[in-house]
Homo-oligomer: A and B are copies of this chain.
Amino acid sequence: LNNQLKRVVLLSTGDELMSGKIADTNAQWLADRFYTLGLEVAAVLTVGDFRERLVWAWEQAFEMGDLVVSTGGIGPTADDLTTETLAGILGEELRFDEYTAERMRRLFEGMRRPMPENNLKQAWFPESSVIVPNALGTAPGYRVSTEREVRGETVMRHLVVLPGVPREMKRMFDETVIPWVVEQQGDASPPVARTFQTFGMSESALDEAVAEVIPEGAARVSFRASFPKIGVTLLTRGENAEARLEALAATLRERLGGAVYAEGETLMEQAAGEALRARGATVAVAESCSGGLIGSRLTDIPGSSEYFIADFVTYSNAAKRKILGVPAAVLETHGAVSEETVRHMAEGARERTGADIAVATSGIAGPGGGTEERPVGTVCFALATPEGTISRRHQLWGSRDWVKLLTSQIALDWIRRWAKGVDVLESGFRR
């Protein structure tokens, strides 16, 4: 009997998916995880809360996948049909799990709320199931391994049932399902992965750079673009995986250079903040076209008050003059979108706040306002520091949102680079 996991089918259930009320982000997240684990997802089946459709979906899933992962349909209400339906398909009775019931009762006691009787429905499981604990909610999941007849052959099928709430599902998957999957894969050493967050190279340029330094077959490489950053993940397994991966990562780190702004799951605003904190420096911002986005991103990070002092969003020329002291003559001669103006903005912000450094931007986010000389997407950047002021003009592209986002990304990268002691002017996105 073949016990190896190869193909996965994802099963998403819930009426809210069928009416377009929510997007099936669980399927994408799980597909990403399985991709990293080296398992193929053969299909995603999504159905509403109807018994006959669930039966159809499970039957199909058993045909196609060695492993079926289902999300949703295990809540306390009448339309949560997964467990009952599945027990029928498996030809198993349901068993009541006293431990689960007791834990639910205690959770409700802790919240000082009476437990609705229907909650106990979540303490019933197919007889042969192994419970998958849920640290963040009342409904545990479970898994079953069973023999089935598929096209006249007896085969092994594994199924995992998880709740639909993404936060709970993800934690249960990472904590309990992944270790079990890795064990089933029969590999003594678990897979090891390293992710680089990059900014400034296109996906095809990254692809070429990776191909140059990572020998074919040495690691599984995947890219995850989430504009304006692209994550590159190297994954390997087997003997000495850690050491081999570290060697590969070192080569790639060197090849990508300043384009790597962080490792792991890190946003640019986090990387900039961590670099400032490490250097013990404070920052001020002066914005025009980005309209407050740089300040907003910096302050998305808890504890940012340690290094962030103030942001001046001077949208009008009068505001640039009055609030930041940009000389009228500079605005008149060079215009609001000029390196001269942003240098004055940065210096004005630095003086007025006493921050160690100040970054400033001014540009044309569009769709209107472009000229022959300064088309939409023209953005000027300046950084005032104790060592002096530097500036650069960039030609960005895309919709208003994209120009704003790219502008904030470059400004944050300038902050990070300065705090890290890396060449600031090298930053920026090359198409």
Contact = CB atoms under 8 A, between A and B. Distances in A.
A32 interface: yes
A201 interface: no
Interface string A93-114: 0000000000000000000000
A313 B311 CA distance: 5
A187 B224 CA distance: 46
Nearest to A24: B24
Given A19-B32, A32-B20, A312-B312, A296 B404 contact: yes
Contacts of A25: 23
A313 B291 contact: no
Given A33-B20, A300-B404, A48 B42 contact: yes
Given A296-B292, A302-B366, A322-B352, A316 B312 contact: no
B323 A299 contact: no
A367 B303 CA distance: 9
Given A22-B28, A27-B24, A319-B353, A299 B309 contact: no
B368 A303 contact: yes
A285 B311 CA distance: 11
A47 B43 contact: yes
Contacts of A150: none
Interface size, A (range):
35 or more
A300 B313 CA distance: 13
A83 to B, nearest CB: 20
Contacts of A294: 292
Contacts of A303: 368
Interface in A280-325: 285, 287, 289-296, 298-300, 302-305, 308-316, 318-319, 322-323
Contact of A311 (B298, B309, B311): B311
A431 interface: no
Nearest to A399: B302
B290 A296 contact: yes
Majority-rule SS of A interface residues? mixed
Nearest to A299: B291
Contacts of A44: 12, 17-18, 24, 44-47
A17 B31 contact: yes
B23 A35 contact: no
A42 to B, nearest CB: 7
Given A312-B310, A368-B302, A20 B42 contact: no
Most buried by B among A18, A294, A404: A18
A304 B302 CA distance: 30
Contacts of A298: 291-292
Contacts of A43: 45-47, 53, 57
Interface of A: 12, 17-25, 27-35, 40-48, 53, 56-57, 60, 64, 222-224, 285, 287, 289-296, 298-300, 302-305, 308-316, 318-319, 322-323, 352-354, 365-368, 400-401, 404
Given A19-B41, A44-B47, A311-B311, 16 more contacts: A17-B44, A18-B40, A18-B41, A18-B44, A20-B28, A20-B35, A24-B28, A46-B46, A285-B292, A302-B366, A302-B400, A303-B368, A305-B315, A309-B315, A318-B354, A323-B353
